[in-house]
Structure 1
Amino acid sequence: MPSKSSARLAALTVAAVCSAASTVALTSPAHAASVRIHDIQGTTRTSPYAGQKVTDVPGIVTGVRTYGSSKGFWIQDPTPDADPATSEGVFVFTSSTPTVAVGDSVTVAGTVSEYVPGGASTGNQSVTEIGKPTVTVVSSGNAVPAPTVIDSRSVPAAYTPAGDTAAAGSINALTLRPAAYALDYYESLEGMNVQVSDTRVTTATDPYAELWVTVKPRENRTARGGSLYGSYDAQNTGRIQIQSLGATADFPVANVGDTLAGTTAGPFDYNSYGGYTVVANTLGTLRGGGLQRETTRKQARDELAVATYNVENLDPSDATFAAHASAIVNNLKSPDIVSLEEIQDNDGATDDGVVDASVTVNKLIDAIVAAGGPRYDWRSIDPVNDQDGGEPGGNIRQVFLFNPERVSFTDRAGGDSTTAVGVTKVHGKAQLTASPGRVEPADSAWSASRKPLAGEFVFRGRTVFVIANHLNSKGGDQGLTAQYQPPTRSSETQRHAQATLVNAFVKDILAVQKNADVIALGDMNDFEFSDTAKLLEGDGELWSAIKSLPRNERYTYDYQGNEQVLDQILISPDIRRDCFAYDSVHINSEFSDQISDHDPQVLRFRP
């Protein structure tokens, strides 16, 4: 923060530069008489003064941002109006390091704009700002306006109003109702000094010194202290992101279930990485909740254990092999079959045409042996270079690991990256035309996405069909705090087409052999209640086994304060009718030192 010096008494004029974002298109600037901040903010999400020049806007500096591409400071009017819909704070965008300090009383002249973090294509809400400012420091050392307390009593239970159909579903022009809707309440505080107290962490600290808390401790609480995202209609209204306005070196390294005790306070911002955020100049004290990584039980002698595990872009240069191996051996208890997602080729993200992943896989197998586990065998099919999405050059794919002392793989020639596997009938039983094989790899549904890997396994004389999946990601979907409500989930179109193909393939197997044991598993990139899951399940061909868990234990991923399901193991009717056990083994998603952003899943049953 700048020192208090006479330099701050001079007027400051700087040019506004908005990188990696956009500003709402406006008409040529007009001039407005002296106005207050609440006039500029208005009663909707966009300012009635947008595009106009304003002068002599008074306020007290509550926070200064000296880093990143959005340098500037927040001011707040110490004399608020009586309308709860109008914010009393606003961000002044300077583009260069500001020379004001917290506690300065200033007047600002500049142009009001609506800045969209991340760009208009994201669908994000805009932030009202004053740009191209001329700043006059009137006095220093003033008391900062007392922070508005955000807590379980102040945040409404309803999440958001529906968007205006005449405006493509946007909520921007709707009059704010802060007593009725959580998003309206948060918007009414945009730019103001706010505080939360004694909040529970619901998403662990990430590498960017961010974490998420809830101000509603009882809202959809999971068994381990998070907040469950259980349906599109049951939003967690109390979740808020916390960042630091000062040095990030002292930012708390927290896990889910920890507490930020005492007061966390600072300007209330909106960004492209999750929406409403306390940019804290005062951070609470971290109190650990004692969260421990889970361990599942060992499968019985006559139980087949099948797992899915997204190892997050694993390549030979990574330092996580020993940790992944320990997780498989000690936390998952060495499943008989492990479907791995995001195995990269032998030189990782180097985009040089290499697609072979034998170095990556064998390094993991060796690490598993070193950790005391079995020497797994493996099967996979190399993708066509740069055709399966993921990190460019990485050529991620699914891989089957299997313990040859417990289960055998049925090798049947003919499977390659572009040939579709089929189903035939042999001696009254279903059989794959190739094993391993890929499901409809030439179909447009798999464009720039991973193709499912199918294989036949035999356990105690019984054939089990396993289909490893990594469906299209949610990239490009609008965020939960978008200006469009409900948000558009554009990624579903491709994922639904993929789910339909997977279900059709399972249906082909069951049409030949009604009692076949079929498992479709992997990173489905969608929730157990989603239409993607319904399409995978079809008319009962499959069933997502995570639904056998208590509701507050159904999660495999933690994103922006919401614990949710992305990874699933779906089972055919014959498996579902028998006795099976399912476990979502929480070893990653809730922890700041995670080795993957996904938790593995384990299914145990008797074929």
Structure 2
Amino acid sequence: MAVTTRATTRIPGLATTVIVTVTAEATPTAAATTTAAAQVTNAPATSGNLQRFNGALGGAAAPTVTPGGRGFQVEGSDSFLNIAAALGRSCDIQHNSTRNGIVTHWTVASSDALFLLLDEVMARLCSLVFLSACLARVSSVSITDIQGISYLSPLNGQTVNNVTGLVTAKASNGFYFQGERSEDVRASNGLFVFSSSALPLVNVGDFITLNGRVSEFRSATSPNNLFMTEIVSPTDIVVLSSNNTLTPLILGKDRSPPTRLLNALDVGPDGFLSVPNNSSLISTTNATLQPDKFGMDFWESLEGQLVTIPSPTATGFRNNFGEFWVYGDWKVTGKNSRGGLTINFGPGGIPDGNPEAVIIGSPLDRSSNPQPVLGVRLADITGVVAYQFGFFYVIPLTAPQIISRPDPTISPTSIKSSPRDKCSLTFGDYNVENMAPTSAHIPAIASHISNLLLTPDIMFVQEIQDNSGPTNDGTVSANLTLTALVNAIAAVSNVTYAFASVDPVDGQDGGQPGGNIRTAFLYRPEKLSLAPGAPAGGALDPTEVQGRFLKPKLSFNPGRIDPLNSAWDATRKPLVAHWQTKDGKDLFTINLHLSSKGGSSSTQGDARPPVNSPIAARSAQVASVATFVKAILTKDPFANIIVGGDFNEFLQTRSVYQPLTKLLTSIDEAAGVPEVERYSYVFDQNAQQLDHALVSDAIKLRRAQFEHVHVNTWSPSLSARISDHDPSVGRIRLC
């Protein structure tokens, strides 16, 4: 007998309708008998567990089924279907025959499971149609079962059958599909199927079922990354219906990310910046997710799901892979005036890791992402949440569109050098990024110093290369590089700087191979000069604090601090100088460029707190400088001291800076710069401050001024950026 079967349902949580029609050459068979039958009213007593209602189509009332026994055996060609009531949701199944019309019309109102035996035709339908909370095949596993409520799947390594969901997106190496949402927000209902060979079998909008093996993937070359839950080696992929739609989760409306903390394992007073770092692993602890409290848990609870980011704002430039960070129309913290998210101290003094931002990956349709800058506004972005390359991503279905860009105009500082004020002195700081004598960006740097910083009386500069630049020929002198910069400034401003530096030992100070980068001072001779009485030091000469009480002086001027200390291996040794103004006021300056963060792990990686490399070296370097500063203050507690430069660390990492901050104060704090505006660098989702100036109490008490000039972080394009650091400028009073 040819039997046509149609099943229709609304899928709770998926907002889609599944309609499947199956024609089968089959003859209904008698029901198998069991010892624990379902209780049936309004149906023939002889119907048993197979609810067969003979009569004209729609001509009789539908039978009502209440829970019966469980664990019964199915024999022969008979099969059974597990019908879940799903807390009051209803599900209708109509079974129509072209001969001897058979009608079975069920309304499920119980929250318990109802076990029924079906005839061969319904068994075939069962093998093709999943009716969400109403119908589920025996031995099936849901996507939420696979994802679980922690970082690692409870079914990792196991083979799962009859996993059902709607295909939401296709990538080059697999596809994403999504099942019914769980009432437990910790369990994601999205999942990635890793299989390029399966791509021709499915299309976006297909409602499918499949078998496969649950796997937790992490690249062998990225041991600090998290694992990504996925299904591998899929088999028995069956398309149940096509052209279905799914409403994405609207972030900021349906669910919103936490705004302060990254992970529960970031134990310590400095949160994700705490020392020691790398003291625990998420993959080992595998704690239950707390998505309302911790940002990483939030994004993990959405892994594989289709989401929409409404009204996103970019927090910086694209990276080398065309990816960029955004936050959407939801609550954020640390928001600065440009629209970025600044690392700052949150409640309880815990640094804010800005977990509410997420990185936008390469579009799945292979279109190209736009080129945003800090503060760019974009149209809504829809994509799937995934973990890759050390971070949680939203991988967009197509390239986002830019709606508006911020004003690219950079205003000059309001802080100006005053030739009439004998007590005040202006200073600037700038990492000029691998500057050699022939560097193309020298004129632009000169313009910044002249037109934006307004030619401060003294400049702290970092990354001055030797005269041969990156050519590794044994050259260590940088007089040609510094002369080229000084001449370029003079050409723009008519201000002629002098310079002071100490040449390093070849190949011993890190940076670009062959470049021999070092720190240096530029100064205006009409305002100040090096204090007399001490020779310039050499690369390996340790400078000592000498002199009598209230009259400290240096053994070398300029000189290097503690250059033989192993803490300074393969990095720039501190440059110290003792200055005197034209009316005899003294100032000590220390120019730093501490070890870079190369080798650090992702802030969203497995290691908690994240690996902050080389934190031990920077801690030892800060301690070395603090010892020197203390020696000056011991000689003169009222000494004027500035320690500035590229620290390659956040002041929020208090465990590192404690030796210095016991003695000195950040000039940002002394000048009252709002905490969210204290940044000189943008990396990943964070506006952050790597370039600092710390001042002694004598300067702090005389009301300093300070500004960060965001000429590079606010650049209209990445290609137009001159350095990866912003310069800063300040004014201090020496009397």
TM range, smaller chain? 0.7 to 0.9
**TM-score, reference length from structure 2:** 0.70
| Cα contact 2:175–2:199 (8 A) shared by 1 | no
1:516 CA drift (Å): 2.3
Structure 2 gaps, min length 5? 1-138, 268-277
Matched, 1:169 2:284: no
Instruction: Give the Å deviation of 1:328.
Output: 0.9
> Which of 255, 277, 289 pairs up with 2:393?
277
Moved more, 33-42 or 590-599: 33-42
Whether the aligned pair in 2 keeps the contact of 1:57 and 1:109 (CA below 8 Å) is yes
Instruction: Summarize the Cα distance change of 1:95–1:409 in structure 2 as closer, same or farther, 3 Å threshold.
Output: farther
Pair 1:75-2:170 in alignment: no
Q: Distance in 2 between matches of 1:513 and 1:81?
A: 67
More divergent stretch after superposition (47-56 vs 90-99): 90-99
Question: What is the CA-CA distance between 1:296 and the residue it aligns to?
Answer: 0.8
Paired residue secondary structure (1:371): helix
Quote how far apart the aligned CAs of 1:155 are: 2.2
Query: CA separation in 2, counterparts of 1:247 and 1:307?
Result: 47
CA deviation vs aligned residue, 1:28-72 (integer Å, no higher than 9, x gap): xxxxx7644333222211122323445664444433444xxxxx2
**Residue 240 (structure 1) aligned to one of 352, 358, 375:** 358
Answer with 93-102 or 552-561: which moved more.
93-102
Partner of 2:214: 112
Give CA deviations for 1:253-276 in whole Å, capped at 9, x if unaligned: 222222113x10111122335x22
Number of residue pairs matched?
566
Deviation at 1:445, TM superposition (A): 1.2
259, 265, 271: which one aligns with 2:382: 265
Q: CA–CA distance in 1 between the matches of 2:491 and 2:727?
A: 21
Cα shift at 1:477: 3.7
- What secondary structure does 2:643 align onto? strand
Residue 549 of structure 2 contacts residue 635 of structure 2 at CA under 8 Å; is this kept in 1?
no
Q: Is the 8 A contact 2:510 2:516 kept in 1?
A: yes
Choose the corresponding residue for 1:222, options 329, 336, 346. 336
Aligned residue type for 1:497: A
Match of 1:602 in 2: 729
Q: CA deviation at 1:484?
A: 4.2
Distance 1:74 1:445 in 2: 49
Q: Please state how far the C-alpha of 1:205 moved relative to its aligned partner.
A: 3.3
Contact kept, 8 Å, 1:580 with 1:604, in 2: the verdict is: yes
Q: Does 1:251 align with 2:369?
A: yes
Displacement of 1:441: 0.8
Please state whether the residue corresponding to 2:315 is helix, strand or coil. strand
Structure 1 stretches of 5 or more lacking a match? 1-32, 67-71
What amino acid sits opposite 2:636 in the alignment?
Answer: Q
* Greater mean alpha carbon deviation, residues 356-365 or residues 455-464: 356-365
DSSP-derived class of the 2:310 partner: strand
Counterpart CA distance in 1 for 2:170 and 2:450 is 49
| Closer/same/farther in 2, CA of residues 131 and 417 from structure 1, 3 Å limit | farther
Q: Offset at 1:568? A: 0.8
Q: How does 1:121-132 map to 2 (within 5 A)?
A: 121-122=223-224, 124-131=225-232
User: Which residue number corresponds to residue 535 of structure 2?
Assistant: 413
- When residues 217 and 596 of structure 1 are mapped into structure 2, their CA distance, relative to the original with a 3 A threshold, is farther
Amino acid in structure 1 at the alignment position of 2:311: D
Equivalence for 1:402: 523
> Structure 1 249/281 Cα, relative in aligned 2: closer, same or farther at 3 Å?
closer
1:535 shift after superposition = 2.9
Which residue in the other structure is 1:185 paired with? 298
Q: Which residue does 2:623 correspond to in 1? A: 500
The residue type paired with residue 280 of structure 2 is G
Instruction: Point out the more displaced range, 377-386 or 132-141.
Output: 132-141
| Cα distance change of structure 1 residues 159 and 578 upon mapping to structure 2, 3 Å threshold | closer
Specify the code of the residue in structure 2 equivalent to 1:335. P
1:146 aligns with 2:247: yes
TM-score by length of 1: 0.84
Amino acid at match of 1:285: I
CA deviation map 1:96-117 (0-9, x unaligned) = 9965654455666554332336
Contact 2:326 2:685 in 1 (8 A): yes
CA contact (8 A) 2:546 2:555 kept: yes
Q: Does 1:475 align with 2:598?
A: yes
Deviation at 1:247, TM superposition (A): 7.6
After superposing the two structures, state which structure 1 stretch, 543-552 or 231-240, moved more.
231-240
Residue identity matched to 2:147: Q
Identity %: 36
Moved more, 399-408 or 516-525: 399-408
Change (3 A) 1:341 1:139: farther
Q: 1:554 aligns with which of 673, 678, 701?
A: 678
Larger radius of gyration: 2
CA distance in 2, matches of 1:346, 1:93: 53
Alpha-carbon offset, residue 396 of structure 1: 2.0
2:545/2:553 contact within 8 Å kept: yes
Q: 2:332 touches 2:356 (CA, 8 Å); kept in 1?
A: no
Go from structure 1 to structure 2 and tell me whether the alpha carbon gap of 1:462 and 1:44 turns closer, same or farther (over 3 Å shift): same
CA distance in 2 between counterparts of 1:248 and 1:335 reads 48
Letter of the 2:155 counterpart: Y
Q: Which residue of 1 aligns with 2:711?
A: 587
Distance (whole Å) between structure 1 residues aligned to residue 466 and residue 198 of structure 2? 44
- Residue 187 of structure 2 is matched in structure 1 by 86
Amino acid corresponding to residue 169 of structure 2 in structure 1: G
- Secondary structure of the equivalent of 2:342? coil
1:522 corresponding residue in structure 2: 645
1:296 aligns with 2:413: yes
For residues 357 and 247 of structure 1, what CA distance do their matches in structure 2 show?
A: 50
Deviation of the 1:192 alpha carbon: 1.6
> Counterpart of 1:437 in structure 2: which amino acid?
G
C-alpha distance 517-181 of structure 1, shift in aligned 2 (>3 A): closer
Distance 1:221 1:59, change over 3 A: same
1:207 positional shift: 4.3
Q: Distance in 2 between matches of 1:394 and 1:51?
A: 50
